[in-house]
């Protein structure tokens, strides 16, 4: 059970508010920068002669986009939320906030140095999501360690004996990711098949044990808070937590089906990918049953629709992953653009929408400043339609690519088949980028802008404690 609302409010301190604001502004700047890069990348598919300088080449910009959205945007946005949620659900101010400030510096040094070195062609090779050189990764790891100390210190000083479920997920994310990060830089796993196995472990768990845990922790706090009712089932939350831990760490090898990795190891990854349905259904059902009967409240809120889309894409993207892992379907989709559609369904439809819902739902409570409603509506619809077009077009285009390869057609036939879908992806990407500009405008209004644009708001309603 979380602390009572009165003790939560008493726990709020000016420095905690400033931290939430600083993390959100920093994350927003990285969102703009790295998705501008993503947008340029998406136009390079239909127009391969666009921006041919080495500094703007696909090979350098792609990891800038992926690492930047992961570690500069999503990690920072969700860590800002985590500090707020863990302190509020513990009924205490954040312990040692200086550590949280130091972590923000480390996150930003890592994202900046990582982007600059990648653009100069200095990298750790082609291991996805760990292309940063080791000393850049160390800054990111330092940020995680500093954040974890501040979070655990806060939970240790909590007002009530129970640890609310959101805090399990949020603290767990840092513990698992520190283990993951250290494993990824151990020198004896950097060659041969061992490297492939570790890469599968790292890349999938960067999504599964880091972003998924952060987003679920955010949902377990923000949904009940904004809906003004307790979470449907605490037990389902606990079931989801432990079954995520059981199944997630082993499924990474499904990225390397048909590779020289042992066949039994690939099969184990597929079986555990099916097992992932347990935490996914437990989590989705819990959230859906919490929302049930409160649609009027969702309709009147500017924050809740983002969380609802996050829950829907959590279910769709994750169950798509289970289906995609089956060998018969990997035979078609392996190495095609279908996978890129899946990445954006999960990292954008689920993780990014939950981060936005958390910020819209919780930040105005801290600053007393509301977003512009028109910009929030535009943000929501452009991002939702944009990402759905993005995912839909690459799912069809990727399937056509895979079928062409299976039929043994000349490679250029698969390029021609996919090219209209690359144009559609660029259109969807443009809509998503305009949505990010609307979000940035609203972050300005929720932080640096003038106070109280609107009086009582639907998002601010729901002052009951989350339980």
Q: How many CA atoms lie less than 13 Å away from 403 in the CB half-sphere?
A: 9
The nearer residue to ligand HEM, 73 or 95, going by C-beta atoms, is 73
Q: How many CB atoms lie within 10 A of CB 230?
A: 15
Where do we find the tokens 């940063």? 132
In the complex, the smallest distance separating the C-beta of residue 100 from ligand HEM, rounded to whole angstroms, is: 22
Tokens linked to 325:
């892992």
DSSP string for residues in 332-398: HHTTSTHHHHHHHIIIIIIIIHHHHHHHHHHHHHHH--PPPHHHHHHHHHHHHHHHHHHHHHHHHHH
Question: Which of 27, 30, 65, 110 is close enough to bind ligand HEM by CB under 6 A?
Answer: 65
In the complex, the smallest distance separating the C-beta of residue 201 from ligand HEM, rounded to whole angstroms, is: 16
Q: Are 247 and 281 in contact, with CB atoms under 8 Å apart?
A: no
35 binds ligand HEM per the rule CB under 6 A: yes
385 binds ligand HEM per the rule CB under 6 A: no
Angstrom distance (rounded) from CA 93 to CA 66? 34
- What part of residues 300-359 is at the interface with ligand HEM (CB under 6 A)? 337, 339-340, 343-344, 347-348, 351-352
57 binds ligand HEM per the rule CB under 6 A: no
Tokens linked to 394:
């690459």
In the complex, the smallest distance separating the C-beta of residue 452 from ligand HEM, rounded to whole angstroms, is: 30
In the complex, the smallest distance separating the C-beta of residue 37 from ligand HEM, rounded to whole angstroms, is: 8
7 binds ligand HEM per the rule CB under 6 A: no
Q: Computed over its alpha carbons, how large is the radius of gyration of the chain? A: 21
Question: Which of 429, 458, 462, 465 is close enough to bind ligand HEM by CB under 6 A?
Answer: 429
Angstrom distance (rounded) from CA 136 to CA 117? 9
Where do we find the tokens 């698992």? 176
Question: Which of 69, 115, 244, 442 is close enough to bind ligand HEM by CB under 6 A?
Answer: 69
> Residue number with the shortest CB distance to ligand HEM?
429
- Write phi, then psi, for 151 (nearest 5 degrees): -70, -45
71 binds ligand HEM per the rule CB under 6 A: no
62 binds ligand HEM per the rule CB under 6 A: yes
The nearer residue to ligand HEM, 225 or 254, going by C-beta atoms, is 254
Applying CB under 6 A, the residues found at the interface with ligand HEM are: 35, 38-39, 41-42, 62, 65-66, 69, 74, 337, 339-340, 343-344, 347-348, 351-352, 429, 432-433
């Amino acid at each position: 059970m979380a602390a009572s609302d009165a003790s939560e409010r008493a726990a709020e301190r000016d420095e905690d508010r400033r931290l939430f604001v600083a993390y959100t502004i920093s994350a927003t700047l990285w969102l703009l920068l790295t998705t501008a890069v993503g947008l340029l990348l998406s136009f390079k598919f239909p127009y391969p002669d666009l921006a041919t300088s080495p500094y703007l080449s696909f090979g350098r910009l792609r990891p800038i986009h992926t690492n930047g959205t992961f570690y500069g945007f999503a990690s920072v946005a969700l860590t800002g939320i985590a500090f707020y949620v863990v302190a509020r659900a513990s009924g205490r101010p954040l312990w040692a906030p200086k550590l949280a400030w130091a972590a923000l510096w480390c996150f930003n040094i890592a994202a900046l140095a990582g982007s600059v070195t990648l653009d100069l062609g200095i990298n750790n090779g082609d291991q996805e999501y760990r292309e940063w050189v080791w000393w850049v990764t160390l800054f990111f790891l330092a940020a995680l360690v500093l954040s974890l100390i501040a979070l655990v210190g806060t939970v240790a000083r909590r007002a009530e004996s129970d640890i609310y479920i959101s805090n399990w997920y949020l603290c767990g994310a840092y513990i698992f990711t520190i283990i993951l990060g250290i494993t990824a830089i151990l020198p004896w796993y950097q060659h041969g098949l061992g490297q492939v196995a570790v890469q599968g472990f790292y890349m999938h768990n960067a999504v599964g044990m880091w972003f998924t845990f952060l987003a679920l922790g955010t949902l377990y706090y923000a949904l009940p808070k904004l809906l003004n009712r307790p979470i449907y089932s605490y037990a389902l939350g606990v079931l989801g937590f432990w079954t995520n831990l059981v199944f997630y760490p082993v499924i990474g090898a499904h990225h390397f089906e048909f590779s020289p990795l042992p066949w039994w190891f690939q099969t184990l990854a597929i079986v555990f990918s099916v097992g992932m349905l347990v935490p996914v259904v437990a989590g989705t059902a819990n959230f859906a049953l919490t929302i049930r009967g409160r649609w009027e409240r969702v309709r009147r809120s500017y924050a809740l629709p983002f969380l609802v889309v996050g829950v829907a894409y959590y279910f769709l993207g994750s169950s798509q992953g289970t289906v995609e892992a089956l060998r018969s379907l990997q035979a078609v989709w392996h190495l095609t653009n279908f996978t890129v559609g899946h990445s954006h369904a999960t990292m954008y439809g689920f993780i990014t929408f939950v981060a936005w819902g958390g910020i819209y739902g919780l930040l105005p409570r801290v600053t007393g400043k509301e977003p512009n409603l028109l910009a929030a509506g535009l943000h929501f619809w452009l991002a939702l339609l944009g990402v759905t077009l993005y995912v839909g077009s690459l799912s069809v285009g990727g399937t056509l690519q895979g079928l062409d390869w299976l039929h043994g057609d000349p490679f250029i036939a698969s390029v021609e088949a996919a090219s209209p879908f690359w144009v559609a992806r660029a259109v969807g990407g443009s809509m998503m980028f305009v949505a990010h500009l609307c979000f940035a405008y609203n972050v300005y209004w929720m932080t640096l802008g003038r106070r109280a644009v609107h009086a009582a708001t639907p998002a601010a309603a729901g002052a009951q404690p989350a339980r």
